[in-house]
Chains A and B, each alone.
Chain A
Amino acid sequence: MSNPFEHMPVEEVVAEQEELLPSGGDAVAGDSFWRNMVRVFSQNKLAIASLLFLIFIILFCFLGPFFYHTNQTNGQEALMNSTNNAAPGAGHPLGTDDNGFDILGRLMFGGKISLIVGFASAIVATVIGVIYGALSGFFGGWLDSALMRLVDIGLSIPLLFLLIALVTIYRPTAPLLIIVIAAVSWLVPARLIRAETLSLRTREYVQAVKVMGGTRKRIIGRHIIPNSVGTIVVFATFNVADSILTLAALGFLGLGVPAPQTDWGTMLSNGVNYAANGYWWEIYPVGLCIVLVVVALNYIGDALRDALEVRLQRR
């Protein structure tokens, strides 16, 4: 096929092409991608419900304490002002726990930590994984082999054991837990982004940037990573859910955030000590919070995957 612009000077080619463009500007492609995504996503009722629920829980945990004042840090005061293990009733809609802390307020107080650690460690893990995977896939060769063997080794260690080792060596605080959970969960995104990079780097537009003398940094930063954004976003969503579960597991094992702070896993761990006494309000509300948030995040991730793949189908 002969190129009609082949023998023209560059300026003329540009002018010619501009005439051919439809009126309406050059943002069309980018715009329709996101609009398309939002459209497909919003058709999924389960995903919308999940998103609304997640927003509700975030508002509940972060703004709730401003409207529903409870003491969650002073243990002495809590024991003085209320009975411990009190059933739901006037004054304490969801009862109190073994220290006399109000459970509804504690759901907000602990939820804040669970959500912050969940989201933050997923973001840190995704950033590390994306950079690592993109570098590995882009450079290929022995560097790729070496980097991927490291990922293999990491993935063959049962995560919980590694986490417990790290948490035992460094006493856990909330920021440290973010780093530790991220340190064990960047491996899968690294592998996914590497696979994505391997296929992207052979595409014409990447070859074109190379031919035009674009630096490697530019190719990775401006072309490969932005084009993997679908994979990144979908995986990050699932990663938040996994991180919340991981923190809950650590909390359950007594390795969560130290007192007077708490998280949902630590709360549940406290509650199940009284399972035989029938204090259901110390188990079900917090258990439900964990399960529903994780289910919601999974539905959102699923819907995002569908929404972002539409673009692939229609191309």
Chain B
Amino acid sequence: MIGYIIRRLIQAFFVILGVTLVVFILSQLIPGGEARAALGPKATQLQIDHFNHLNGFDQPLWVQYWHYLLGLFKGNLGYSYRNNQGVTSLIAQRLPKTMVLVGASTLLSLIIAIPVGMRQAVRRNSLFDYTVTGVGFFLYAMPAFLVGELLILYFSFDLGWFPSQPPSTASAWAVFTQPQDFVLPVITLAALTIAGFSRYMRSSVLDTLAEDYIRTAKAKGAGPRRVLYGHALRNALLPLLTLIGLTLPAIVGGALITEDVFNYPGMGLLTVQAAQNDDIPLVLGTTLVATVATVLGSLLADLLYAAADPRIRLGGD
């Protein structure tokens, strides 16, 4: 178990290091460099050279990368010249909101997908199974922004049940004080993953039901309920943890779209607005933070899996 955790931590470390390198390379691709971004199109060559010298941008690339890494360790993600503010503080205000959105929608998705997938497995090839598969196909094909807009059209404009956008000043805690503001964004993001999760749950339960210990349990006289909930469900749930870890990048990407649709002031909206303003340092900063959060989330999912599954805990591999 400890060997596994250490190996997994080292792997996550190198992935994060690699991502910083990718982001650093992207920052080198900015046309005209950061100087142009900071000083504007009218800056003279002399001013640009001076700016580059002051910020160390005239040094060899590996030195610059090293300084970039050192800056990251101190929590310095760069400077948004458009907002005249450090990227770190801009992101720090927004990150909790995105985490609330991602967490709540993943939870909702699981609450729906697990029972649906189980029922599909138990009633395989039934009308229910086919219907859910068909609906799943459409959900998968529906772009997140279309789902969001349709929800706004019906539940916000037509029925007036929920607001079409949460108040932008509220903090992440508003999810407890004003939950109705979060209903539509959370459903939108959950719609992205429900189809995949229930599909996976279906095949996972089917695999588990074919195991020997299920036959043994049945032979010992355990009722169908006990077999399903006591034996099959618990074992079928495990691989779902890994799937959540693997789906996390897609969920975070979906959160970006969802935030744009609902004007939800999280990190995704920050990124989109930065992109529309050509604020490249800010875009790169959010990309890095979103990725690191994703890597850490996947790491957490894997560690939970290891803690829950004795085959990994004791097997060593």
Q: How does the 8 Å CB contact mask read for B23-38 relative to A, with 1 for contact and 0 for none?
A: 1001001110000000
Q: Is the CB of B138 within 8 A of A291?
A: yes
Q: Which of B21-55 contact A (CB under 8 A)?
A: 22-23, 26, 29-31
Q: In the assembly, what is the distance between CA of A154 and CA of B137, in Å?
A: 27
Identify B271's interface contact among A161, A170, A287, A292, CB under 8 A: A161
Q: In the assembly, what is the distance between CA of A170 and CA of B31, in Å?
A: 8
Among listed B86-94, B115-123, B139-147, interface-contacting one: B139-147
Interface size class, chain B: 35 or more
Q: How does the 8 Å CB contact mask read for B135-168 relative to A, with 1 for contact and 0 for none?
A: 0011011111110010011000100000000000
Write the nearest CB–CB distance from B276 to chain A, whole angstroms. Answer: 6
Q: Is the CB of A156 within 8 A of B143?
A: no
Give the chain A neighbours of B283 by CB distance below 8 A.
Answer: 161, 164-165, 168
Q: In the assembly, what is the distance between CA of A314 and CA of B74, in Å?
A: 61
Among listed B64-72, B174-182, B220-228, B249-257, interface-contacting one: B249-257
Give the chain A neighbours of B142 by CB distance below 8 A.
Answer: 291
Q: Is the CB of A157 within 8 A of B287?
A: yes
Give the chain B neighbours of A168 by CB distance below 8 A.
Answer: 274-275, 278, 280, 283
Give the chain A neighbours of B19 by CB distance below 8 A.
Answer: 153, 156-157
**At the interface, yes or no: B260 with Cβ under 8 Å from chain A?**
yes
A160-B253, A161-B286, A168-B278 given; 12 more Cβ-contact pairs under 8 Å = A149-B14, A155-B249, A157-B294, A158-B294, A164-B275, A164-B283, A253-B275, A255-B275, A255-B276, A269-B145, A287-B146, A291-B143
Give the chain B neighbours of A283 by CB distance below 8 A.
Answer: 149, 153
**At the interface, yes or no: A87 with Cβ under 8 Å from chain B?**
no
Q: In the assembly, what is the distance between CA of A211 and CA of B82, in Å?
A: 63
Give the chain B neighbours of A294 by CB distance below 8 A.
Answer: 140-141
User: What 4 pairs across the A-B complex have the smallest Cβ distances?
Assistant: A153-B18, A160-B253, A294-B141, A158-B253
**At the interface, yes or no: B15 with Cβ under 8 Å from chain A?**
yes
Identify A158's interface contact among B31, B137, B141, B252, CB under 8 A: B252
Q: In the assembly, what is the distance between CA of A289 and CA of B280, in Å?
A: 33
Q: In the assembly, what is the distance between CA of A165 and CA of B295, in Å?
A: 19
Interface positions of A (Cβ within 8 A of B): 149-150, 152-162, 164-170, 241, 245, 248-249, 252-255, 265, 268-269, 272, 275-276, 283, 287, 290-292, 294-295, 298-299
**At the interface, yes or no: B272 with Cβ under 8 Å from chain A?**
yes
Write the nearest CB–CB distance from B148 to chain A, whole angstroms. Answer: 9
For the residues of B in contact with A, the DSSP-based class is helix
Write the nearest CB–CB distance from A298 to chain B, whole angstroms. Answer: 6
Give the chain A neighbours of B244 by CB distance below 8 A.
Answer: none
Q: In the assembly, what is the distance between CA of A265 and CA of B250, in Å?
A: 19
**At the interface, yes or no: B290 with Cβ under 8 Å from chain A?**
yes
Q: In the assembly, what is the distance between CA of A70 and CA of B145, in Å?
A: 28
Q: In the assembly, what is the distance between CA of A164 and CA of B274, in Å?
A: 10
Identify B287's interface contact among A150, A162, A255, A292, CB under 8 A: A162
Give the chain B neighbours of A241 by CB distance below 8 A.
Answer: 141
Write the nearest CB–CB distance from B250 to chain A, whole angstroms. Answer: 7
Give the chain A neighbours of B256 by CB distance below 8 A.
Answer: 158, 160-161, 164
Q: In the assembly, what is the distance between CA of A253 and CA of B14, in Å?
A: 32
Nearest residue, chain A, Cβ from B26: A165
Q: Is the CB of A298 within 8 A of B249?
A: no
Question: Could you jot down 24 A-B contacts, CB within 8 Å?
Answer: A152-B15, A156-B249, A158-B294, A159-B250, A160-B254, A164-B256, A164-B275, A165-B23, A165-B26, A165-B287, A168-B280, A249-B144, A252-B143, A253-B257, A255-B275, A272-B145, A272-B149, A275-B149, A275-B153, A275-B157, A276-B157, A290-B143, A290-B146, A295-B138
Q: In the assembly, what is the distance between CA of A295 and CA of B143, in Å?
A: 11
**At the interface, yes or no: B95 with Cβ under 8 Å from chain A?**
no
Give the chain A neighbours of B276 by CB distance below 8 A.
Answer: 254-255
Q: Is the CB of A169 within 8 A of B253?
A: no
Q: Is the CB of A153 within 8 A of B146?
A: no
Give the chain B neighbours of A275 by CB distance below 8 A.
Answer: 149, 152-153, 157
Whether A161 touches B253, Cβ cut-off 8 Å, given contacts A149-B14, A168-B280, A298-B137, is yes
Q: Is the CB of B250 within 8 A of A158?
A: yes
Write the nearest CB–CB distance from A234 to chain B, whole angstroms. Answer: 16
Give the chain B neighbours of A268 by CB distance below 8 A.
Answer: 145-146, 149
Give the chain A neighbours of B235 by CB distance below 8 A.
Answer: none
**At the interface, yes or no: B193 with Cβ under 8 Å from chain A?**
no
Nearest residue, chain B, Cβ from A241: B141
Give the chain A neighbours of B143 by CB distance below 8 A.
Answer: 245, 248-249, 252, 265, 290-291
Q: In the assembly, what is the distance between CA of A117 and CA of B275, in Å?
A: 21
Give the chain A neighbours of B254 by CB distance below 8 A.
Answer: 160
Q: In the assembly, what is the distance between CA of A252 and CA of B295, in Å?
A: 27
Q: Is the CB of B253 within 8 A of A150?
A: no
Nearest residue, chain B, Cβ from A254: B276
Give the chain B neighbours of A167 by CB distance below 8 A.
Answer: 275
Give the chain B neighbours of A161 by CB distance below 8 A.
Answer: 252-253, 256, 271, 283, 286-287, 290-291
Write the nearest CB–CB distance from B187 to chain A, whole angstroms. Answer: 17
Give the chain A neighbours of B149 by CB distance below 8 A.
Answer: 268, 272, 275, 283
Q: Is the CB of A249 within 8 A of B278?
A: no
Q: How does the 8 Å CB contact mask read for B266-280 relative to A, with 1 for contact and 0 for none?
A: 000001101110101
Q: Is the CB of A249 within 8 A of B145?
A: yes
Q: Is the CB of B290 within 8 A of A158?
A: yes
Q: Is the CB of B298 within 8 A of A156?
A: yes
Identify A169's interface contact among B30, B140, B272, B298, CB under 8 A: B30
Give the chain A neighbours of B290 by CB distance below 8 A.
Answer: 157-158, 161
**At the interface, yes or no: B284 with Cβ under 8 Å from chain A?**
yes
Q: Which of A150, A154, A249 has the most CB of B within 10 A?
A: A249
Whether A169 touches B29, Cβ cut-off 8 Å, given contacts A156-B291, A161-B286, A255-B275, is yes
